[in-house]
Structure 1
Amino acid sequence: MKMKKIIILGANGKIAQIVRKRILNETGAHLSLYLRNSNRIKNINPNREEIIDGDVNDFNKLNDALKDKDIVYANLGGRFEPMAKNIIKAMQKNNNQRLIYVTGLGLYHEVPGDFGKWVEKSIGKEIMDDTRRAAKIIEKSSINYTIIRAAYMNNESKISYETTQKGTFFKGCIVSRASIADYIIRLVKNSSLDNYASVGINEPGTDGVLL
């Protein structure tokens, strides 16, 4: 069986670190760890991991890094629209088929009530508009994507979550990074799960807890 090749863009992020460990422990996949300042990554498994020091905004570097990858998992911060453009352009050029892209809630004004209003106000129009433009770039492409719209994140180890699909109201207010990582692992293991989908993720029973 061919070893699956996965690249993590933003590999030093908190969720990415959890995903990295679980992929190594639970699958036979090979990992490419793409990040700025690669000296932040420690304890490399030389048989199954490689580090690539690069910026997603550097198209040529990103384009080279995406060669022969089966899954591109992006967990990034910064200005999202130009990064999304580069990711999609590089994936199309390399004929990469699968993108897992983590972002936040509120892309479609899907968060109901007072919490939805609070989200828009607290995050701010400029950031929300940038995030929405990035999502549209992904959704309009030919790439098989799963956009993960996460509630406000915490570092609890508890794995407890539910998901909602685009076109339905978002549920809850918070979710653990461990839960998001668990969902990503499910996507990695199950190629038929939530294809061409934008999925909200939250901890059940947390409606209104941030207000």
Structure 2
Amino acid sequence: MTRRILILGANGKVAQAAINSFLENTTCTLRLFLRDANRLPDYASDRIRVREGDATDFEAVNEAVKDVDVVVASLSGELDREAETIVKAMQRNEVKRLVFVTALGIYNEVPEPFLNWVKSQLGDQLKVYRQAADIIEASDLDYTVIRPAWLTDLNEVDYELTHKEENFKGTEVSRKSVGAFIVEIANNPELYLQDNVGLNKPGTDGEKPREL
């Protein structure tokens, strides 16, 4: 079966890594949702459809969600409002499978001194990411929440997982790795159901990411 994937926030670097992986490794058709289509690369594929809109706009998200199998959200900004909109639209359309990207540190699960560094970088935005994750987990959706480590542009797929109740490992992970993990879930929707996972590159423990 060819799955239909909706990617919200399609102009982001994680989303674009996932799009490339979908095109290279699957036969999935992709619906790309973002505010400004001019910000997208020129994907030479007849498997892509683009829709402009704001992820806090229920009517726009509701239209985008229709007839898809999996929703992938890699967004920023008002993530709590976006989470509420996504849940409502998916419930309205009886779409169940959601992959939702938030951030590390929202549960203070990151060991010191790296946690202090994360807080210095993300500040109050951590509260918004936490609220968004809480909204997703309180829903009846088949969600996977992803908390990636600090993101790099390394051309590699190399990651390990931790779960919500575990201490976070490592300090960094490539966007390409996060994209590959998203594609793995879309290809195997029964994986990591109603799970909340951290994603990091093994062996990158430290006070801050080595790439900085």
Q: Which TM-score band applies after superposition, normalised by the shorter structure?
A: over 0.9
Equivalent residue number for residue 136 of structure 2? 138
Contact 2:113 2:207 in 1 (8 A): no
Higher mean C-alpha deviation, range 87-96 or range 105-114:
105-114
- The code of the aligned residue for 2:60 comes to K
1:92, distance to aligned residue in structure 2 (A): 0.6
Matches within 5 A, 1:1-20: 1=1, 3-20=2-19
- Name the Cα RMSD after superposition: 1.4
Stretches of structure 2 lacking an aligned partner (at least 5 in a row) = none
Equivalent residue number for residue 192 of structure 1? 190
Contact 1:44 1:50 in 2 (8 A): no
Stretches of structure 1 lacking an aligned partner (at least 5 in a row) = none
Give distance in 2, aligned partners of 1:25 and 1:133.
Answer: 34
1:155, distance to aligned residue in structure 2 (A): 0.3
Of the candidates 164, 170, 175, which is equivalent to residue 166 of structure 1?
Answer: 164
Change (3 A) 1:78 1:103: same
SS at match of 2:59: helix
- The code of the aligned residue for 2:74 comes to N
Contact 1:187 1:193 in 2 (8 A): yes
Equivalent residue number for residue 179 of structure 2? 181
Give distance in 1, aligned partners of 2:121 and 2:147.
Answer: 16
- The code of the aligned residue for 1:167 comes to E
Of the candidates 124, 138, 157, which is equivalent to residue 155 of structure 2?
Answer: 157
Equivalent residue number for residue 115 of structure 1? 114
Give distance in 1, aligned partners of 2:18 and 2:12.
Answer: 10
Give distance in 1, aligned partners of 2:93 and 2:12.
Answer: 25
Give distance in 2, aligned partners of 1:154 and 1:41.
Answer: 20
CA displacement, residues 158-205 of structure 1 (integer Å, 9 cap, x when unaligned): 221111011000001011111111111111111221110110001111
SS at match of 1:100: strand
- The code of the aligned residue for 1:191 comes to P
Change (3 A) 1:37 1:47: same
Q: TM-score, normalised by structure 1?
A: 0.94
Q: TM-score, normalised by structure 2?
A: 0.94
Give distance in 2, aligned partners of 1:137 and 1:12.
Answer: 24
State yes or no: 1:92 paired with 2:61: no
Change (3 A) 1:29 1:121: same
Equivalent residue number for residue 31 of structure 1? 30
- 4+ residue stretches of structure 1 with deviation over 6 A? none
1:121, distance to aligned residue in structure 2 (A): 3.4
CA displacement, residues 2-51 of structure 1 (integer Å, 9 cap, x when unaligned): x2110000111112112112212221111101011112224345631111
1:107, distance to aligned residue in structure 2 (A): 1.6
